[in-house]
Structure 1
Amino acid sequence: MADIQRRPLLRHLRGAPTTYVRHLRRGRTVHEGVGVSFWFRPLNAVISEIPVDDRELPMLFHVRTSDYQDVSAQATVTYRIEDPVLAARRLDFAISPDTGAWRSAPLDQVATMLTEIAQQYVLTLVTGMPLREAITTGPAAIRDAVTDGLAGDGRLTDIGVTVVGVRVVAVRPEAEVERALQTPAREQVQQEADRATYERRAVAVERERAIAENEMQNQIELAHREERLVAQRGVNDRRRAEEAAAAAWVAAEAQAERNRLDAAVQADARRALGAAEAEANSAYLAVYRDMEPSVLLALAAQALAERLPEIGQLNLSPDVLTTVLGGLAAPSSDGGGA
């Protein structure tokens, strides 16, 4: 919007770089152009301000397809006023000399015209399509149809409007129909997800089976090794026992040999001692063989006295002594008489 400054009986207008300003006075053009600045009298000035920048116009169409399904097409049309002089002649772009605001709504007229023209081409195209085709290939077809239709429409050319581009954002059916159409795809995606889950589980089961087999093979190998270890320990124990038995046998034989040697030595010693004792006894008896009986009795009494306990005092009566001496003499007398 132009910037207007107020002075007594005068006004000063300063245009924008994206607006075309046209100043008429008494039916003649005084000032016109983009970004102009000038003084004017509000009582005899007619000023028009035409935007020449690109403008976006969103559109929403409700159309019924060939299979009687309602769809909504959302599009955006970019346009600009290519010939502002022609647009100022055909549409009311006049502004207030005091505020700079439009006296009417010329851009709304342009938007209404563009929407009606575009809707005509959208209706013509979509009504001949079934629902699935309208959803899948509809956006591109609608864009091309609307672009070609607006570019060749004479009504837009007459007001100096040029269409820069058309974008179709989406073509969507009603919510229930859209959910119904999404169901097969969702089921397929779910099936793919389930298949991936099953495959992942199968791979996990296969890996677990491989791990279990490895563990079992390890246990079998450990059992074989333990069996060989037990067998080797048994062999070692048997060898130890055999070695211990052999050593014990050798020790027993050595001990028996030592015992035999000791016994032989002791037997030889006993035989030698017995022979010596026998010789001594023989010599001893040979000595006593030639002695008198009285001497032998005396020696026997002496030996007996040596073996008797100690006697502190002995009283011999004459009767006892006479009997003893008589007894000792009697054998002697008998022996002498013989």
Structure 2
Amino acid sequence: MFGFRFVKFQPSDYVLKVKNGKVVREGVGLSFHYYAPTTSVVVVPVSSIDVPFMFEEITNDYQTVTVQGQLTYRIVDYRKTTQILNYTYNLRKNTYLSDDPGKLAQRVINIAKVLTKKQLEQLPLREAIKSSERLAKTITQETGRNEEIEKLGIELMGLSILAIVPNKETLRALEAQAREEILRSADNALYERRNASIEQERRVKENELNTEIAVETKKKQIRETQLDAERSVKQKQNAMMEEQLSFDTALEEKKQELIGLTVANQRAEADAKAYELSAVMNSLQGVAPGVLQALTNVGMKPDKLIAIAFQELAENAGKIGQLNISPDLLQGLMGGSAGNGGNAARGGGGR
């Protein structure tokens, strides 16, 4: 009535009440009465704004890629923003008087596009496709230092690059190359597995051969040890035999020396006896035979004397006519008793 009205804004709106070209009131979520002919209202969103984007760029190797992503920003300096862009609000129609609020998002996208272009121009296609995370981080850092962002009074809260995609023909070529690479890798893996199997088998055989060699070496060592032991035993036996032979040789030499001494002694004894007998014979050369016989019979046993007597009787048998021997005498002679000759032998002379 009469141009006086009441308006109430949401807590997500920062409101500047302008009257006669001057800001008379400002704040978040205001509600007030105003006089329509002389009052203007500027409404700036307080909450963050999500803006999706998609644009094409060219890589270092002149390949076209499509960059898809989303950025989030919010207005932090409302006075700066409203000085550059028209955020005047039509209270009767509940809409902005100009399309400047929609241009802010495009300006932010253009800034991000320029920074993205700068980065992609330095990367080849294959590297650019895989650089989404790194590219988003770099653009976010550079946006924070961007003068145009500061002049707009906004703050970039986040930027995400969802995909960097080449055109269809290039994508098919990359897929074919990747497929060939995968197949090649599979072939290489199969080849490596076969080589590994062959290598493993070779190692097993080598280990078996090494084991056999070790066993044969051990057998050889055992045999050599046995031969050394046998050689040692033989050497000891030979040494013992040599010692025994030396002992036997020395013993035989001693025996020979003993025999020589015995023979020499016997020869000396025989020579002495021969000399003694020769001396006796020389001394008896002039003695009568009867005297010699008598000397011989001295000290002789009776039985030997009787035997000699019978021998003389036999020698003089031609001179004896008759000889009588009594049984008692014969028994006494045979008994070895020379003192039992009670009966005298009687002999008659030749008649």
Q: TM-score of the superposition, structure 2-length normalised?
A: 0.50
Moved more, 169-178 or 80-89: 80-89
Task: After TM superposition, give the deviation of residue 195 of structure 1 in Å.
Answer: 11
Q: 2:142 aligns with which of 141, 149, 157?
A: 149
Aligned partner of 1:68 in structure 2 is 62
The equivalent residue for 1:103 is: 97
Specify the alignment match of 2:50 in structure 1: 56
The runs of 5 or more residues in structure 1 that have no matched partner are 1-6, 197-338
Checking the alignment, whether the CA contact within 8 Å between 2:16 and 2:26 is kept in structure 1 is yes
CA contact (8 A) 1:42 1:98 kept: no
Q: Secondary structure at the match of 1:128?
A: coil
Residue 28 of structure 1: how far off its partner (Å): 2.6
- 1:181 maps to 174
Structure 1 CA distance for aligned equivalents of residues 61 and 22 of structure 2: 58
1:119 and 2:113 correspond: yes
Alignment length (residue pairs): 190
Instruction: Compute the displacement of 1:105 (Å).
Output: 1.6
The corresponding residue for 2:164 is 171
Q: Which residue of 2 aligns with 1:218?
A: none
Offset of 1:151 from its aligned partner? 0.9
User: Rg larger in 1 or in 2?
Assistant: 2
For 2:72, the equivalent position in structure 1 comes to 78
AA paired with 1:60?
Answer: M
| RMSD (CA atoms) | 2.3
Equivalent-residue separation in structure 2 for 1:87 and 1:24 (angstroms): 15
Measured against aligned partners, the alpha-carbon deviations of 1:250-297 in whole angstroms (never above 9, x if no partner) come to: xxxxxxxxxxxxxxxxxxxxxxxxxxxxxxxxxxxxxxxxxxxxxxxx
CA distance in 2, matches of 1:67, 1:107: 38
- In the alignment, the residues of structure 2 paired with residue 126 and residue 77 of structure 1 have an alpha-carbon distance, to the nearest angstrom, of 18
What displacement does 1:158 show? 1.5
Q: Confirm or deny that 1:17 pairs with 2:11.
A: yes
Unaligned runs of 5+ in 2: 190-351
* Distance in 2 between residues matched to 1:169 and 1:147, nearest whole Å: 14
Do the aligned residues in 1 keep the contact of 2:85 with 2:101 (CA within 8 Å)? no
Calculate percent identity across the aligned residue pairs.
Answer: 28
Between the aligned partners of 1:192 and 1:157, the Cα distance in structure 2 is 51
2:32 is matched with: 38
**C-alpha distance in 1 between matches for 2:24 and 2:183:** 72
Given candidates 45, 68, 82, the residue that maps to 1:88 is 82
Closer, same or farther: CA 156–195 of 1 in aligned 2, 3 Å: closer
Separation in 2, partners of 1:106, 1:64: 30
1:176 shift after superposition: 1.3
How far, CA to CA, are the matches of 1:147 and 1:120 in structure 2?
Answer: 12
Q: Report the Cα offset of residue 89 of structure 1.
A: 2.3
The one-letter amino acid of 2:6's match is: H
Question: Contact between 1:21 and 1:34, CA under 8 Å: does it hold in 2?
Answer: yes
How big is the shift at 1:90? Answer: 2.3
Q: Report how far residue 188 of structure 1 moved.
A: 5.5
In the TM superposition, residue 187 of structure 1 has moved relative to its aligned partner by: 4.5
Q: Deviations over 1:296-325 (max 9, x none)?
A: xxxxxxxxxxxxxxxxxxxxxxxxxxxxxx
Deviation track 1:39-61 (CA, whole Å, cap 9, x = no partner) reads 10110001100001111111112
Secondary structure of the equivalent of 1:99? coil
SS in 1 for 2:96: coil
Please report how far the alpha carbon of residue 121 of structure 1 lies from its aligned counterpart in structure 2 after TM superposition.
1.1
